[in-house]
Chain A
Amino acid sequence: MEASNPSIESLEQTANECRKSIIQMIHKAGAGHPGGSLSAIDILVALYGTQMNFDVNDRNSPTRDRFIMSKGHASPAVYSILHQHGFIQQSDLDGFRTLGSVCQGHVDMKWTNGVDFSAGSLGMGLSFGIGTALAARLDNRSYQTWVMLGDGETQEGQIWEAMMAANYHELNNLHVIVDRNRIQNDDFVNVQMEVGDLASKIKSFGWEVKEIDGHNMEEITEALQWSLNSTRPSAIVAHTVKGKGVSFMEDNPSFHGKAPNDTELIQALEELS
């Protein structure tokens, strides 16, 4: 699929469908990570809707754009957008986290059509993205590599090894989006290990950086285009709300990695309808 130009309204509508999907698959599995999936989903919808070049019938095409979900626990967000674009089926989503399912607990390139990276251990995706971006340069290909990081994930030292390397190798075909939702597994990021002014930190590594509201579809789509046109490695720090769209999950650390119960499912779906 060539990147198209859908309206902001249609992107928002898709994001809402994805949110329902995320809640349903986690409820059905009885496990998963709703908070970080809901904070990331608006960005994924915009990325797949307006930037990513891919062909669902030729998923291994060497010229496809790569999306690397480094915060691999947000797998429901990835599965919901891959479903929207025809890579996987509803029955796949229904099997999330069950034995033999293509929808593994954390995103895995070995299992899922359309997934470019096997995540699950934080801090590794940006380095992998450097590899795909370097390969593009070696092969004179114009595909882009997009990497999503969590803000808690930037506590991993490997992220900064990679930030330094991407700048050194001048990879302007590498784009990072940080899902700055301010919550990690145990508690708020500023309680566990505050990561502070990420934009300044990344800038100091030689990157171009833009800060946006990660739930404002217009700002997201503009920022993605800005990143694409950047002449240096570029990062978007997207300020988001963990659990966005479901009132009792919003900004609530307890829904980082907890499935909604039956009552909570009904309430969540009501809020999203």
Chain B
Amino acid sequence: MSAPSTGGASRDGYGKALLNIADDPRVVVIEADLGKSTKSCLFREKYPERTVSLGIAEQNMVLVAAGLASCGKVPFASTFAIFTERAFEQVRNGLARPGLVAHICGSHGGIHTGTDGSSAQSIEDLALYRTIPNMTVLHPSDDLSATELTQQLLDYHESSYTRTARNKTPRIYTEKTVKSLQIGKGTILSEGDSVAIIAIGVMVHKALMAAENLRKEGINVTVIDMHTIKPIDTELLDDLANNVQGIVTVEDHSIIGGLGSAVSEYLSENNPTRVVKIGVDDRFGESGGSEELLELVGLTIESIESAVRSIVEL
């Protein structure tokens, strides 16, 4: 399954979703200078009166969102994933702790962000936000799913952090299949009985490619798009654990605290299963092309295949 590179980056999907929900007067979009990058600029062009520009000031941005939320607005605030981290304590203390509902989007997440170098490559955002009570953590795999999941946040019950990606990746969904996505429920993209690959973001397509190659070897794997990292779909994890020999998690994120950790935390206590984690080892990135960087840190189709084989051959 080698989908053509159509559609766009998940950040494009985020921008489109803001337009799709703009009819709801509660929606307010907040920017910290990077609207052109996060794609909230699409909303700004059409609804300047409901777009709040705050300049390069992320800490202020999060609390302005909280204040608006306390008055019944549904704020969508975005900047680069890495810069949301500057306001981590504001998200924790000012937004989630009082139980207010606003949605933070961090674009340009992951090492594949590329030539800007390590300062712009957030590989810890998912881990950070996962530790905060009253927070949902999302990372869609293509533009269509980013649109769908963002739209579902409109009437969502708690604050959220969504990581989107800078680069265009092949579409995982179609306009029709994407409608079945649901926050909190992992999506089964392919079914097999030997190993399950659970992937997020830009790695979902690589997981599907690996599955295709492995099938030729007679290894049938399940592939999951776990777009909701928190709350993690424990029902699905139990199902997988009961039916496969092991699980491989794949993420453009530190192996500490992200998807692999979330899966392991649940299974180690509830349904002990071998989990092999593929992610960014405890290290920073550097400048380079997206694919070069993914290769540098071992986020490749080949490494996914090897991990699956290592489980099958046990």
The answer on a CB contact under 8 Å between A62 and B71 is: yes
Q: Give B105 Cβ to nearest chain A Cβ, in Å.
A: 17
Taking A117-B98, A130-B67, A132-B68 as known contacts, 17 extra A-B pairs with beta carbons closer than 8 A to each other, sorted by chain A number, are A108-B98, A110-B98, A118-B97, A121-B94, A124-B93, A125-B63, A127-B59, A127-B62, A127-B90, A128-B64, A130-B63, A132-B67, A135-B71, A135-B72, A139-B71, A164-B57, A165-B54
> A139–B25 Cα gap in the complex (Å)?
10
Chain A residues near B (Cβ < 8 Å): 62, 108-110, 116-118, 120-121, 123-125, 127-136, 138-139, 157-158, 161-162, 164-165, 168-169
- Measured between beta carbons, the chain B residues less than 8 angstroms from A157 are 59
> A242–B89 Cα gap in the complex (Å)?
28
The answer on a CB contact under 8 Å between B70 and A127 is: no
The answer on a CB contact under 8 Å between A120 and B93 is: yes
The answer on a CB contact under 8 Å between A62 and B72 is: yes
> A57–B161 Cα gap in the complex (Å)?
35
Looking across the interface, which residue of chain A has its beta carbon closest to that of B98?
A118
Q: Give A29 Cβ to nearest chain B Cβ, in Å.
A: 21
Q: Give B260 Cβ to nearest chain A Cβ, in Å.
A: 31
The answer on a CB contact under 8 Å between B98 and A127 is: no
Among B28, B54, B59, B61, point to the contact of A138 (Cβ < 8 A): B28
Q: Give B85 Cβ to nearest chain A Cβ, in Å.
A: 15
> A135–B68 Cα gap in the complex (Å)?
6
Looking across the interface, which residue of chain B has its beta carbon closest to that of A156?
B59
- Measured between beta carbons, the chain B residues less than 8 angstroms from A121 are 89, 93-94
Looking across the interface, which residue of chain A has its beta carbon closest to that of B61?
A127
Among B49, B57, B99, point to the contact of A161 (Cβ < 8 A): B57
The answer on a CB contact under 8 Å between B94 and A134 is: no
Interface residues on B, range: 20 to 34
| 12 A-B residue pairs with CB within 8 Å | A62-B72, A110-B98, A124-B90, A131-B65, A131-B71, A135-B73, A158-B63, A158-B90, A161-B59, A165-B54, A165-B60, A165-B64
- Measured between beta carbons, the chain B residues less than 8 angstroms from A128 are 63-64, 66-67, 70, 94
Q: Give B232 Cβ to nearest chain A Cβ, in Å.
A: 26
Q: Give A215 Cβ to nearest chain B Cβ, in Å.
A: 30
The answer on a CB contact under 8 Å between A134 and B60 is: no
- Measured between beta carbons, the chain B residues less than 8 angstroms from A116 are 70
The answer on a CB contact under 8 Å between B52 and A169 is: yes
- Measured between beta carbons, the chain B residues less than 8 angstroms from A130 are 60, 63-64, 67
- Measured between beta carbons, the chain A residues less than 8 angstroms from B93 are 118, 120-121, 124
- Measured between beta carbons, the chain B residues less than 8 angstroms from A118 are 93-94, 97-98
> A169–B60 Cα gap in the complex (Å)?
13
Q: Give A75 Cβ to nearest chain B Cβ, in Å.
A: 15
B274 interface residue per 8 A CB criterion:
no
> A93–B73 Cα gap in the complex (Å)?
32
Among A109, A117, A158, point to the contact of B59 (Cβ < 8 A): A158
Q: Give B157 Cβ to nearest chain A Cβ, in Å.
A: 15
Task: Say yes or no: A109-B98 contact (C-beta < 8 A), given A121-B89, A131-B67.
Answer: yes
Among B55, B89, B90, B97, point to the contact of A165 (Cβ < 8 A): B55
The answer on a CB contact under 8 Å between A135 and B94 is: no
B69 interface residue per 8 A CB criterion:
yes
Q: Give B237 Cβ to nearest chain A Cβ, in Å.
A: 31
> A120–B49 Cα gap in the complex (Å)?
32
The answer on a CB contact under 8 Å between B59 and A131 is: no
Task: Say yes or no: A161-B60 contact (C-beta < 8 A), given A108-B98, A121-B94.
Answer: yes
> A132–B71 Cα gap in the complex (Å)?
6
Q: Give B24 Cβ to nearest chain A Cβ, in Å.
A: 13
Looking across the interface, which residue of chain B has its beta carbon closest to that of A70?
B63
B50 interface residue per 8 A CB criterion:
yes
